[in-house]
Amino acid sequence: MLRKTFALLLAPLLLAGCAERGTLASAPQGTHTVTVGIAAINDFHGSLEPPKQSVVAPDGHGDFFSVPSGGAAWLASAIDSVRAKYPYHLTVSAGDMIGGTPFVSATYLDEPAIGVMNRIGIDFNAVGNHEFDSGIDELMRMQRGGCAQHTAIKPCQLEPYRGANFPFLAANTFKPDGTTLFPGTAIRTFGKGRNQVKVGIIGLTLKGTGGLMKPDFAREVSFTDEADTANGLVAGLKAQGADAIVLLIHQGGRTNGDPDPNTCPALYGDIKAVLDRLDSRIDVVVSGHTHWSYVCEYGEFNPAKPFLMTSAGLWGKLVTDITLEIDPALHKVVSRKAHNVIVQSPGYMASTVFLANRELYPIFQPRPDIAAYVAKYVNAAEVWTHRIAGHLAESVEKPEGPLANSGGPLGNLIADAQLAATTGAGAQIAITNPFGIRRSLEIAPDNSVTFGAIYAVQPFGNRLVTVTMTGADIKAVLEEGFDREAPEQILAASAGFVFHYDRSKPIGSRIGSMTLNGVPIDLAADYRVTVSQFLADGGDSFASFRKSRDPVPGVVEIAALEAWLQAVPPRAAPPEVRAIDDRPELNTLIRNAPPGQKYR
């Protein structure tokens, strides 16, 4: 009882000032300021239902525990709670609102994901790479509405689609005629007379989005440098009277140390190179893409760039509460702070442990209108999502944290399934990209796996293709996982194929020995390799796959996985390590390396 009482007394401190980060000198005594609040999310990925995932957070006693979180109706209530604090507020998203979504959203072309965000009241969404998953025409339909069919799935199955009530922003996404696909900036005005303030918004995706798209779609647009683009827009926003500038960017970083979503220990990642060149007149950077959660005072890393940078993780598990104090006479932000609010939703069974609610953090109730809207789509999709697709010995977790760029046992399972599905095409090796694995593979108490569960793991509908590659081509592909063209990604391989890597070696020479069934790979010999069509086309910046020959198309990825799960007795995910790190002690050194250090 004493422990519970102490936790309840401590909760306001964790949820308020002690959990908030913000610098800048306070306004001079007597100065009048206008407060503007921002509720920020990123990487929602159509997570309409609670994803049976958690946020790791401080437990109030110097340790951490897992807090069940997520679900659109609970997210709506959490956002409402943030907005209720502020007479003036904005609600924004830093991309990947759609794409890579669970079956309930994807089977209706993410129309319900946009429908949820309309009801929540999003003001602006900066497009992310996954907004482009179904092509430019379909993305334009997402914005504008209508029932024109641009994919194999029929639109408007349950109701007419009206489009997004909020603008998409894409300042660095250009059409062939030189115009941006969507507007790049916006301004929102609050208050009147001497108390009027204006907040400028810039929306960007990462410049590498083209390499993450299907090549046919990528040819229709181009992407410019993030910092150069943003810097070129600041003066125009200031000329329009912007007192504060907020950058919504679908690029981000990761942190080391304790997994507190309101801290920023040892920030690393591609966002740092952007921030180091960004115009210091930008006040807040709302980031995404890496699925990490943090609140960063970037001035601690680079004093010349005192940005407040935030990220709310993914799947609507968090919402960032940002407070701006703006001096309308000086036309600038005089203080700002932020903290991530956990969207605590009902407890759930995680593997063999029930993950209960935590009273230390607010327990939100589902907003009734959102819950009813989501239920309409969930019920309509139930006949497919609840179909038994197979059995598995136990649930398999998707690697997270520092291991998120590797496949782990789940990657092994998927690669084995793909190899088995394509032996008729001569496949000897199957390779899959960990970033294409979206969720853990959950089983029911009777070890059954539903179609909805496997779809959540592989939602992209990619078809497999078996191709001929030389051993040298295979090595080149593996090397590309460690180059500077995209975030590091250690490809997952099927049983029998093992390779070693060493990050201390120069880029292009980091892959060591490669063996197939214990026999060294011959760099001059041909091998039959199965990959998704996305990878075969050079997706995720694995350009060397384009050198492959003699393609034989196969089944869709998810069909291969379903067929593999028909085994009796149920299979277990193979636990062995097939990609072996020869220098694991370098992981921390690499992430903390100063710019220009040879590792990465």
Q: What is the pLDDT of residues 426-451, one digit of tens each?
A: 999 999 999 999 999 999 999 999 99
Cβ 190 vs Cβ 34: under 8 Å? yes
Residues spanned by the domain of 514:
388-591
Are residues 353 and 393 part of one domain? no
Cβ 395 vs Cβ 441: under 8 Å? yes
Report the C-alpha gap between 315 and 375 in whole angstroms.
Answer: 18
Burial of 145-167, coded b for 16+ CB within 10 Å and e otherwise, reads: beeeeeeeeebbeeeebebbebb
Are residues 582 and 443 part of one domain? yes
Alpha helices in 424-482 (DSSP H): 451-457, 471-480
pTM of the model: 0.84
Amino acid letter at 444?
A
Cβ 411 vs Cβ 441: under 8 Å? no
Quick check: 462 pLDDT over 50? Answer: yes
Residues 6+ apart with CB under 8 A from 59: 7, 65, 358, 360
For residues 224-233, give the mean pLDDT. Answer: 98
Report the C-alpha gap between 591 and 586 in whole angstroms.
Answer: 9
For residues 489-501, give the mean pLDDT. Answer: 97
Q: What was the pLDDT predicted at 313?
A: 96
Alpha helices in 136-248 (DSSP H): 136-144, 215-218, 226-239
Choose between 306 and 402: higher pLDDT: 306
Q: How many domains does the chain have?
A: 2
Report the C-alpha gap between 398 and 404 in whole angstroms.
Answer: 8
Are residues 471 and 330 part of one domain? no
Alpha helices in 50-110 (DSSP H): 72-83, 103-106
Are residues 397 and 360 part of one domain? no
> What are 161-181's pLDDT values in tens digits?
999 999 999 999 999 999 999
Phi, psi angle pair for 252, to nearest 5°: -160, -170
Cβ 255 vs Cβ 266: under 8 Å? yes
Choose between 215 and 34: higher pLDDT: 34
Q: What was the pLDDT predicted at 24?
A: 57
pLDDT band, residue 586 (cuts 50/70/90): low
Cβ 322 vs Cβ 83: under 8 Å? no
Are residues 332 and 229 part of one domain? yes
Q: What was the pLDDT predicted at 316?
A: 98
Helix (H, G, I), strand (E, B) or coil at 116: helix
Burial of 265-283, coded b for 16+ CB within 10 Å and e otherwise, reads: eebbbbbbebbeebbebbb
Q: What was the pLDDT predicted at 585?
A: 76
Which of 371, 397, 425 is at the close of a domain?
371
Which of 371, 400, 424 is at the close of a domain?
371
